Amino acid sequence: MMPIIVHTIPAFTDNYIWLFHQQGSSDAYVVDPGDAKPVLEALKDLGLTLEGILITHHHNDHVGGIEQLLTQYPVPVYGPKGITQATEIMVDGDTLDVAGTSFNVIEIPGHTLDHIAYYTASEPLVFLGDTIFANGCGRLFEGSPEQMWQSLSQLASLPPKTKLYCAHEYTEANTRFALAVEPDNSDLQQRAQDISKTRAENKPTIPSTLELELATNPFMRSNQLSIKEAAENYGQCKVSTEAEAFALIRQWKDSF
């Protein structure tokens, strides 16, 4: 089986739109096209034809370009319930076969209630919208901390080498916060240096990998003693569950 190639399309100030196709094929699929223009340009530059649109959640910076793309490419739109343009509603456990690859749909509520991820074990990689960022996680606009922690835990059970295709370049700001939470984490210190170098060269820090996030991302590490202690110190209270530690770290980041 031929691997899939994922192209990075920067959009707005810090969004990434992902365009992918099977190696050797010009049939392409786009994930979360918040803006149509850079997607149409990338298709033209790369000599690809759009065959489908995958949506992770309903925020406008992820769906805003759908209508315009459909006027030029009347293709299927895969997305969670609540996406008005979706022609195929995807729910937990669904399989989506595109670009010669089989994707599993995983429901990961928290950032929004309708949020889903598309995971393929064949690479392995996951398109996960605004749920995990490099050294960060999405804000809780709709879901509870318990729901988000459950979603992060579910993603944490994927293979460690899984590439995480997050939808924003928030990595430097996230890393400043992560260092405030866990200043003695040597993996994080090393990663902070790597990130500074990458961003100084104006290169994307995404995709990340699950193993990297499990080593340095304070939100993904809410089950670790060092994060529990940092959460207790921040909240000036006793923390008894992983979800409570997560909730406090999220609250801390919101006012950081």
Q: Toward Zn ion, which CB reaches closer, 34 or 38?
A: 34
Rg (CA), the chain: 18
Residue 58 annotated in active site: no
| Nearest to Zn ion of 55, 195 (CB atom) | 55
Examine the residue annotation and report whether 62 is marked as an active-site residue of this protein. Answer: yes
The nearest distance, CB 111 to Zn ion, in angstroms, is 6
Question: According to CB under 5 A, which residues from 202 to 241 bind Zn ion?
Answer: none
User: By CB under 5 A, is residue 32 in contact with Zn ion?
Assistant: no
| Active-site hit among 57, 92, 114, 115 | 57
What is the closest distance, in whole angstroms, from the C-beta atom of residue 74 to Zn ion in the complex? 26
Question: By the 8 A CB rule, do 68 and 36 touch?
Answer: yes
- Select the residue whose beta carbon is closest to Zn ion and give its number: 59
- Tell whether residue 191 is a contact of Zn ion (CB under 5 A): no
Of 21 and 111, the one with the shorter C-beta distance to Zn ion is 111
For Zn ion, the binding residues in 87-146 under the rule CB under 5 A are 130
Q: Tell me which of 21, 32, 35, 62 is the catalytic residue.
A: 62
Q: Smallest gap, in angstroms, from Cβ of residue 125 to Zn ion?
A: 20
Active site residue 21: no
**Any contact of residue 59 with Zn ion (CB under 5 A)?**
yes
- 56/216 with CB nearer Zn ion: 56
How many other CB atoms sit within 10 Å of the CB of residue 89?
Answer: 13
Residues forming the active site:
57, 59, 61-62, 111, 130, 168
Query: Which residues of the chain form contacts with Zn ion (CB under 5 A)?
Result: 59, 130
